[in-house]
């Protein structure tokens, strides 16, 4: 299955920021990613970044906002 982890974001230059990938992940020479509120990363770079972005926008983002609103209303 997957894993969950919390990582520190660190500056790598004047404008860039980076995170380290967990050592338990199998990584390739490059990683592809898609990002908005969440970052979706293919650490092996097997999925083209355009396809990851489409997947993020059509299958994850709409449900994220629904889940987040429901969670916030339950906390009140």
Using alpha carbons, list the distances in angstroms from residue 16 to 7, 19, 38, 67. 16, 11, 17, 30
Q: Which pLDDT does position 36 carry in this prediction?
A: 87
Question: Domain segments of the chain: what residues?
Answer: 26-75
Q: How many CB atoms are located within 10 Å of the residue 11 CB? A: 9
Q: Which pLDDT does position 56 carry in this prediction?
A: 95
Q: What does the angle CA 70 – CA 60 – CA 53 come to, to the nearest 5 degrees?
A: 150
Q: For every one of its 76 residues, what pLDDT tens digit does the chain have, with 9 covering 90 and above?
A: 688 889 999 999 999 999 998 888 899 999 999 998 899 999 999 999 999 999 999 999 999 989 999 999 998 7
Separation between Cα atoms, residue 45 and residue 27, nearest integer Å: 8
Separation between Cα atoms, residue 18 and residue 14, nearest integer Å: 12
The DSSP 8-state label assigned to residue 43 in this structure reads: T
Q: Which pLDDT does position 1 carry in this prediction?
A: 67
């Amino acid at each position: 299955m997957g894993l969950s982890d919390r990582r520190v974001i660190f500056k790598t230059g004047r404008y860039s920021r980076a995170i380290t990938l967990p050592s338990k992940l199998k990584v390739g020479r490059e990683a592809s990613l898609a990002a908005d509120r969440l970052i979706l990363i293919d650490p092996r770079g097997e999925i083209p970044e355009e396809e990851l972005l489409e997947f993020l926008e059509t299958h994850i983002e709409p449900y994220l906002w629904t889940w987040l609103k429901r969670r916030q209303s339950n906390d009140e």
